Amino acid sequence: MAPLNIWRGLLPALWLTLAMVCSAEAFGLPQPTGKVVLEVSGAIGQGNGSSARAQFDMAMLKQMPAVSIDTSTPWFEGIHKLTGVRLADLLKAVGASGNIIEAIALNDYMVEIPVRDAAEDDVIIAYAYDDQPMSVREKGPLWVIYPLADRPMLNTPEVQAKMIWQLKAMTIQ
């Protein structure tokens, strides 16, 4: 009889532990503690709240593996270093399952980015320009960057249109 009483005592603790693990799986991202700079919604499997969305503050983005690319763009002269997080890593973190990213800027400019671009073209979401944070006036705080200098075939008006600055939100479709 004693072993049965032990299990009866442990059962509520096991259920509580299971509930906490399931809750962490459903909302696997930590809550932002600073100002939210990016919100990802739509076809995602990981959020950080009670709704199907993931919010990121700058500290959360900087905790992800950083990538720097030296590239040119039509909006500045010469080659400059842009640092940020790989779009593919961000999509993986939120468990994205769609084919299209609807990217939206602070001024509500919207562009569609194929999810396949994230992996095929090493697209980053830059948060630093020449190792300095980017203000809204300087196309920040977030800017979608394609490696135009490394891949000249990407330097087309169609790809340039996808390089949305002042990024605030992405909806995965």
- The string of DSSP codes covering 65-91 is PEEEEEEEETTEEEEEEEEEEEHHHHH
Q: What is the pLDDT of residues 7-28, one digit of tens each?
A: 555 444 444 343 343 433 444 7
Q: What is the pLDDT of residues 59-96, one digit of tens each?
A: 999 999 999 999 999 999 999 999 999 999 999 999 99
CATH class of 31-172: alpha beta
